[in-house]
Amino acid sequence: MFDTIILGSGPAGLTAALYCARANKSTLIIAGDTLGGQTSEIARLENYPGFTGTGMELIQFMLKQATAFGATIVYTSATNISWDDNFNYSITCDNGKQYESKTVVVATGARPRQLSIDGARELIGRGVSYCATCDGFFYSGKNVLIIGGGNCALNDALYLSDLAHDVKIIYRRASFTRAEEILVDRVNERKNITPVFNTELTSIRQNPDSQNGELIATLSTGDEIVCDGIFVAIGHEANTDYLSETIKRDDLGRLSPDSLPAGMFVSGDVHSGIKMQVATAVGTGCTAAMDAIAYLNSKE
């Protein structure tokens, strides 16, 4: 049995793992299928104090720190968590194994919110994408749409503008009021980025006249745009489906520390009421780990 199991390998989870391992608590990181969560997909990280580079570079450094103090890592995902009357935890994973611990830090992050319009689900991987850094390369020199108007959407637009011929941002509001001003300024400076305000995407279909997989995007204005790809950036929902229904969640699936059973702690994008940033993920990872360490020490 481990002293603590960390669910997730993003900045929150790896920070928690570092603190717990450094406190000589046996620590297992259940990383998910891939290392780093959403942070690993950041092509240019410039708002985390003391570091500039890619998100994956930061994640790899943080993992090296945590494992240097004895934390171990497995690449699998939790499918169920149960606990006994003494709040000893058993975590079932999709690799068919069970792992036991005295405490759990939930740091499983968030996933992109899905579009629920005609054609969106059917065309995922065939022109519709939720990851600009993953799929942007395939649209070099082509025409793409970004759906959304927050920081994520504008970052995606800036990234894609270096690859694509033309980038249009479809946003339902009249201006980018939810995005940082520096990102808005950068978008406005790019010659090949065009915002389309007060407009929503209503359906997507393949262009029957195209041999190259073009899409036809129908807008709420009644207009149609022919494009090569559509990138969706309309927010996120917490990855907490594996948790018992007895654990309360907010409307985004996030958890409040006060609603958790004894010995379970939360950090990062799964934590309710915080901004989804690398810096806040690290801060809540630190807090969750220190609370877990104090809890463990109180049981000795």
| Helices within 107-164 (DSSP H only) | 132-135, 151-161
What six digits make up the tokens of 239?
A: 């990855």
First to last CA, the chain: 15
Side chain identity at 78, as an amino acid letter?
Answer: A
Collapsing DSSP states into helix, strand and coil, what is residue 34? coil
Residue pair 249/240 in contact (Cβ under 8 Å)? The answer is: yes
Residue pair 103/109 in contact (Cβ under 8 Å)? The answer is: no
What distance in Å separates the CA atoms of residue 287 and residue 292, rounded to the nearest whole number? 9
Collapsing DSSP states into helix, strand and coil, what is residue 273? coil
Count of residues making up the chain: 300
- b/e string for 78-91 if b means 16 or more Cβ within 10 A? beebebeeeeebeb
CA distances 110 to 40, 118, 237, 271, 272, Å, are: 13, 24, 5, 10, 12
- b/e string for 236-259 if b means 16 or more Cβ within 10 A? bbbbbebbeeebebeebbbbebee
Distance of CA 292 to the CA centre of its chain: 24
* Enzyme catalytic residues: 131, 134-135
